[in-house]
Amino acid sequence: MVRSRRGAGRIGCLFFLLIVTAIGYFAANIGEAYWNFYRYEDVMRGEAQFAANRSDAAIKLRVESFADSLGLPYPANKVTVRRGTHDIFIYANYDVRVEFPGQVRELHFNPSASGTF
């Protein structure tokens, strides 16, 4: 015996896949912004760890170059390095625009690292 099937089950499945894909797309945009922030801050931590062997200008250049290689917006390239007698503080501030359905939000990031030597 052969039964006829309605297409409602298939349309429901396609709608579900469309929703999951849309959520994945917007989550990927947010995820990329945070992933780049963590990578950028990790480079700052590495530079702070080896600050005794590098000048402030060299540290600033290396961090700014890494920000450029990540494709971060311009303010991320404005790195500040403050050095004390036995400590160092590296930081920057920048905003990333993330698209959501019907709106654009700006996420503010302020990566920083400090260390002693």
Q: Are 62 and 47 in contact (CB under 8 A)?
A: yes
Alpha carbon distance 19, 40 (integer Å): 32
pTM for the whole structure: 0.81
Go through the chain and tell me how many residues it has: 117
Segment 14-54, tens digit of pLDDT: 888 988 998 888 888 899 999 999 999 999 999 999 999 99
Q: How far is CA 72 from CA 4, 61, 69, in A?
A: 56, 15, 8
